[in-house]
């Protein structure tokens, strides 16, 4: 039996793709930043990029405030399973501007590819809980 040159058939001895390949593909940082900015704006809140880092693999920190009062700093970290998770870092709630600026300056010296976004949101606790729960 001859096969037509237009017919397509999958090889019978094909090896399945490596599941690790799917875990290795990560969202570029600039895409995630755009999503966060849209998410905050859609809720009627304010977000601005304070520091722009590497578009593909830069680390990402969110300064979360409520009416100008510091609530938390969240950092996106690479997890052991090649995914990301969010963790609270830096100065605690109600920290002063100088303390936050010192923390960010130290981090910038350590990682010059990092992104920093400041968010001023009405319900920071809910935003933090939703963000930390994201895969």
Domain spans of the chain, in order of start:
50-133
Confidence of residue 82 (pLDDT cuts 50, 70, 90): low
Q: Is the pLDDT of residue 14 over 80?
A: no
Enter the CATH code of domain 50-133.
3.40.1530.20
Of 124, 105, 134, 135, nearest to 62 by C-alpha is 124
Q: Is the pLDDT of residue 18 over 70?
A: no
Higher confidence at residue 8 or residue 69?
69
Q: Distance between CA atoms of 45 and 43, rounded to whole angstroms? A: 6
Q: Is the pLDDT of residue 71 over 50?
A: yes
> Percent of the chain at pLDDT above 70?
79
| 8 Å CB contact between 88 and 73 | yes
């Amino acid at each position: 039996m001859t096969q037509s040159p237009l017919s397509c058939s999958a090889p019978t001895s094909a090896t399945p793709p490596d599941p690790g390949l799917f875990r290795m593909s990560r969202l570029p940082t600039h895409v995630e930043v755009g999503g966060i900015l849209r998410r905050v704006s859609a809720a009627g809140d304010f977000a601005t990029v304070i520091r722009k880092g590497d578009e593909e693999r830069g680390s990402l920190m969110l300064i979360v405030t409520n009416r100008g009062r510091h609530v938390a700093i969240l950092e996106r970290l690479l997890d052991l399973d090649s995914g990301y998770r969010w963790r609270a870092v830096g100065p605690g709630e109600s920290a002063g501007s100088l303390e936050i600026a010192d923390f960010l300056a130290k981090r910038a010296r350590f990682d010059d590819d990092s992104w920093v976004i400041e968010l001023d949101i009405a319900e920071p606790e809910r935003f933090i809980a939703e963000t930390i729960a994201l895969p």
